[in-house]
Structure 1
Amino acid sequence: MLTYVHRCNHGVTSPDELIQCFGTKCIFSPNHPRSCTGAECKKRCWQYRSAPQQYTEEKQAYCPNCVAAGYH
């Protein structure tokens, strides 16, 4: 999740974005072999998604709502 904190101190959060993993040892990857299944797969491959990361970035502009209200 990415939140922009604007000059007016209002935060605007962007929608969550799934960043695709392309590793062969991740079961969510399009590159994970279809033949890799069962106990052996569970032993050596990533079986769950990690926690989402959160970022905050400062912007030197007003937020969209303040711009619409006439602040520049």
Structure 2
Amino acid sequence: MCRRRQVRTIFKRCNHAVTAPDEEVRCDSTQCIFSPNHPATCSGEACKKRCWQYRPAPQQYTEEKETYCPYCAAAGCR
């Protein structure tokens, strides 16, 4: 099923965190209404009973980098 992914990066040199815009992670299922493979002819009550009609909660990831954040790097921190 299609879902959103939220990625937060923590920059260890300045201890700042930056959250990237949500990413759309597409699935290949024909039974997910958000998938590009969902048939256009699938609709109505049959679709509501058979296909995913909602997205689950976003996946959340936190990554750490041993650098300065983009803002501190632009300010000249090295």
What letter matches 2:16 in structure 1?
H
In structure 1, runs of 5+ residues without a counterpart are none
Tell me the equivalent position of 1:5: 10
In structure 2, relative to structure 1, the CA distance for the partners of 1:40 and 1:61 (3 Å cut) is same
**Higher-strand-fraction structure:** 2
Percentage of pairs with the same residue:
62
Tell me the equivalent position of 1:54: 60
Q: What is the root-mean-square deviation in Å for CA atoms of aligned residues?
A: 1.3
Runs of 4+ in structure 1 off by over 3 angstroms are none
Larger radius of gyration: 1
Q: Is the aligned partner of 1:19 residue 2:53?
A: no
Q: Is the aligned partner of 1:36 residue 2:16?
A: no
Which shifted more, 56-65 or 29-38?
29-38
TM-score of the superposed pair, with normalisation by structure 1: 0.86
In structure 2, runs of 5+ residues without a counterpart are 1-5
TM-score of the superposed pair, with normalisation by structure 2: 0.80
Q: Deviations over 1:5-61 (max 9, x none)?
A: 001110011111112222100011121112222212111110111211211100000
Q: Equivalent residue of 2:39, what SS?
A: coil
- The number of residue pairs the alignment matches comes to 72
